[in-house]
């Protein structure tokens, strides 16, 4: 309605990818690290971390009776209002916790779908016109902003293993082994030549000082030669150990993985976990969870945790007994990496109502509480608290959570002092209280809150002065 308006949307989308280099030593068990003390070779696992920055400039809805648009501008106004209506439907569905969110109705809702109800941190700026003529539009805009404030996004860190780079590193290690062997031969030849030249050309009476200097150099080079021989022997042992690590019963999925990597490297495309899952199949992936080989089990767990972040993959894994396998691993294993990754996978599965009931019926909350009581690692506790916090969002499971000491475990884990763990504890209590309030208002429940029995109120009051904004919001 002014000469400077573009009457259009602007969407700026920036995708950022960062390759992280970490050592396998951070994710191996104590037992495995003890067996590798004599093989101090750094095996770097490249991890691809993805981020996306999305900036959307929305145009305003247009009242035809006020703008007086005709012809082509009238058609534009219809499309503008239609796309804004689609956005409003998505916001309403998310604010009311509807199971279906119509993000595919418009490009305006499909492109920024991660920003509302997704995995992104979102800020919304609402502008209004301070004129009495636009009173109805201002009221509608403010109501839109209030509905949008009810939406809670779940921030997630998205990482992928670069399997091609792991293979390239293995090839580089093999090349380094060959170079070491050649250097050893060169050193041996140089030692033989030096000894012959010393015995033939130097007289003992006149060159004692120079002979001592050369002898010291020879001693240093002898130490270097021994070091190179030891490194070569370590590389040979490491190669033979890696060749015999994967058990025979898992040869089929392992061969499929290698075949997939080789084919993708030829075509120049990066193999993703989703493609590997399609080729290997959920049955074999779940079978790898039960492997006796610790390294295979850890990689299978990480694959399942990443796949569980998508609703489409959860059903396939659950049908093959994936949740049973995760709970069994969590109960039987003593490995801290397995505890952390398995808890993260359960937290992803606990985003679904059906999976929440399944996890609780198999004693998942009590098992998570037991794991939390034995550990004091912030990363693992963050995953455990996240899983219990998701279970708190189902009102039907509240009494069972109390009986299984889920809330006591949640408050107990906050004593570690880690800010991320405390934020997850606050989120779990907020989910629990929100569900209780909803059913109380609807008349399905009355009486004192179940949280009062476990001392949640005193904990909330004590931690209401924390500096982390997200924790304060939950409290």
In a domain, 382, yes or no: yes
In a domain, 314, yes or no: yes
CATH at residue 301: 1.25.10.10
One domain, residues 84 and 174: no
Residue 12 has pLDDT above 90, yes or no: yes
pLDDT at 31: 39
Q: Do the beta carbons of residue 245 and residue 295 sit within 8 Å?
A: yes
Choose one of 116, 149, 182: the last residue of a domain: 149
One domain, residues 14 and 128: yes
pLDDT at 198: 55
Q: For the chain, what is the radius of gyration of the CA atoms?
A: 31
Q: What average pLDDT score do residues 265-269 get? A: 42
One domain, residues 276 and 207: no
When mean pLDDT is compared across 38-52, 78-92, 444-458, the lowest value belongs to 38-52
One domain, residues 19 and 144: yes
In a domain, 154, yes or no: no
Confidence class of residue 210 from pLDDT cuts 50, 70 and 90? low
pLDDT digits (tens, 9 = 90+) for 161-170: 666 666 776 7
One domain, residues 189 and 206: yes
One domain, residues 368 and 269: no
Percentage of the chain modeled with pLDDT above 90: 2
When mean pLDDT is compared across 144-153, 255-264, 437-446, the lowest value belongs to 255-264
- The structure's pTM equals 0.43
Higher-pLDDT residue of 152, 45 = 152
Whole-number average pLDDT of the chain = 75
The number of folded domains in the chain is 4
Choose one of 177, 211, 243: the last residue of a domain: 243
Choose one of 192, 215, 243: the last residue of a domain: 243
One domain, residues 280 and 210: no
């Amino acid at each position: 309605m002014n000469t400077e308006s573009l009457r259009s949307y602007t969407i700026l989308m920036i995708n950022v990818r960062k390759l992280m280099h970490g050592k396998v030593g951070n994710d191996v068990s104590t037992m495995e690290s003890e067996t590798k003390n004599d093989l101090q070779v750094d095996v770097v696992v490249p991890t691809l971390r993805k981020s996306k920055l999305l900036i959307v400039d929305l145009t305003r809805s247009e009242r035809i009776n006020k703008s007086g648009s005709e012809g082509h501008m009238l058609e534009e106004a219809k499309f503008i209002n239609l796309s804004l209506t689609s956005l409003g439907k998505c916001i309403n569905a998310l604010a009311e916790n509807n199971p279906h969110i119509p993000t595919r109705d418009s490009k305006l809702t499909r492109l920024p779908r991660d920003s509302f109800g997704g995995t992104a941190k979102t800020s919304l700026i609402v502008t209004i016109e301070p004129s009495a003529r636009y009173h109805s539009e201002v009221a509608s805009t403010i109501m839109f902003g209030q509905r949008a404030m009810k939406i809670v996004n779940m921030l997630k860190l998205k990482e992928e293993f670069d399997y091609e780079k792991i293979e390239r590193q293995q090839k580089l290690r093999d090349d380094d082994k060959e170079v070491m062997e050649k250097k050893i031969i060169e050193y041996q030849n140089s030692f033989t030549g030096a000894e012959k030249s010393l015995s033939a050309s130097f007289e003992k009476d006149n060159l004692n000082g120079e002979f001592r200097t050369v002898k010291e150099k020879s001693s240093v080079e002898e130490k270097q030669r021994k070091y190179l021989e030891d490194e070569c022997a370590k590389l040979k042992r490491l190669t033979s150990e890696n060749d015999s690590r994967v058990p025979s019963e898992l040869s089929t999925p392992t061969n499929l993985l290698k075949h997939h990597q080789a084919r993708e490297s030829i075509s120049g495309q990066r193999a993703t976990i989703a493609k590997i899952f399609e080729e290997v199949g959920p049955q074999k992936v779940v079978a790898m969870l039960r492997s006796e080989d610790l390294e295979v089990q850890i990689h299978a767990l990480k694959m399942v945790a990443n796949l569980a972040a998508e609703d489409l993959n959860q059903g396939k894994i659950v049908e093959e007994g994936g949740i049973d396998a995760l709970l069994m691993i969590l109960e039987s294993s003593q490995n801290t990496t397995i505890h952390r990754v398995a808890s993260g996978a359960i937290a992803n599965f606990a985003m679904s109502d059906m999976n929440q009931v399944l996890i609780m019926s198999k004693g998942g909350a009590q098992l998570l509480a037991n794991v939390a009581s034995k550990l004091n690692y912030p990363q693992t506790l963050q995953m455990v608290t996240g899983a219990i916090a998701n279970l708190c969002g189902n009102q039907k499971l509240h009494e069972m959570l109390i009986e299984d000491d889920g809330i006591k475990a949640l408050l107990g884990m906050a004593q570690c002092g880690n800010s991320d763990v405390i934020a997850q504890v606050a989120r779990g209590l907020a989910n629990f209280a929100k569900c209780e309030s909803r059913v109380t208002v609807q008349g399905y429940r009355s009486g004192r809150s179940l949280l009062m029995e476990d001392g949640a109120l005193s904990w909330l009051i004590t931690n209401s002065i924390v500096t982390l904004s997200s924790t304060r919001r939950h409290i």
